[in-house]
A = this chain, B = another copy of it.
Amino acid sequence: MTLPPRATIIEVGPRDGLQIEKQPIPTEAKVRLVDLLTAAGVPRIEVTSFVHPRHVPQMADAEEVLARIQRRPGTKYEALVPNARGIERALTCRVDRIVLFVAASEGFNQKNLRAGREEMLQAAREAARMAREARLPMRGGVVTAFGCPYEGRVPLEAVERVAGEYLELGCEEVTLADTVGVTNPAAVRRMLEHLKGRFPGARFGLHFHNTRGAGLANVLAGLEAGAESFDASAGGMGGCPFAPRASGNIATEDTVNMLHEMGIETGIGLPGLLQAVALAESLLGRQLPGQLLHAGIMNWDAPAA
């Protein structure tokens, strides 16, 4: 087991966690959530997305959230952007990095992203051109990299194709997303070994959902195979509110706790992070899947009992 001394956590709760909530969440509450995450020392936060408000009404206040958050120098604020129109909006705000996204599988692009893969890639190319002109750093998200709800297995070549495009477009990092939470540690390792062989020197991130409980095992495999960043959401927000615990992102606090216990630094303070998780639970009005808030941080030197 070769483990790195540190890993980068990207908090995606304010975007991936909240976007599926039907109930509108007040802008003020979103700002408070981001501010608590900033205060906890989270190094990168995916704050919002510039998608069409008709498709994701919860993110319609993207500009306002970005205008009102309190920034600290140690934190970078990212936003998801699907196309040129999204970049136009992002350029009116202070955004440190944009996140492009295209699914590796044709079915997911068609059914969930409302465009074929080539059309999605073309939109990403246009957005990337504008971002480069504005010197805005980019990362590229490969959606359904480990499996598609419509097509099942996704060939490595399809993932390689999208990852290669991103690197050509100037993305600093490619994030491989297990969008529906079906992957396993062996597949994560195979994927990273393949892509690192194909694109030497490229930086890879991972985006896992804990749908079938293997989220942190996949993180461990990713760490061992050289992934550098891990998307996670406070409390494990995300997924379907009608199937509690069925498909949220991996919980930031459980991920950070495991890494810290292994001696891997994240720069994040757990007590502060748990404040953000508690706020998320109160905003959404339900217990979230993340476990650390309820189990408690183990104090090795002065155990609770």
Contacts and interface: CB of A to CB of B under 8 A. Distances in A.
A210 B216 CA distance: 11
Contacts of A245: 245, 287, 289, 291, 294
Interface in A191-225: 210-217, 219-221, 224
Given A213-B216, A217-B220, A291-B210, A298 B182 contact: yes
Contacts of A215: 213
Majority DSSP secondary structure for residues of A touching B: loop
Contacts of A300: 147, 152-153
Tell me how many chains of this kind the complex includes: 2
A302 to B, nearest CB: 7
B291 A212 contact: yes
Given A220-B217, A300-B152, A258 B185 contact: yes
Interface string A153-188: 100000000000000000000000000111111110
A134 interface: no
Given A221-B220, A246-B295, A214 B258 contact: yes
Interface of A: 1, 3, 111, 147-153, 180-187, 189, 210-217, 219-221, 224, 243-247, 250-251, 254-255, 257-258, 261-263, 287, 289-292, 294-295, 298-305
30 contacts: A1-B185, A1-B221, A1-B224, A148-B303, A149-B305, A150-B303, A150-B305, A152-B299, A152-B300, A152-B301, A152-B302, A180-B298, A183-B261, A185-B262, A186-B261, A186-B263, A187-B262, A210-B213, A211-B291, A212-B254, A213-B250, A213-B251, A213-B290, A213-B291, A214-B257, A217-B217, A243-B295, A244-B287, A245-B289, A245-B291
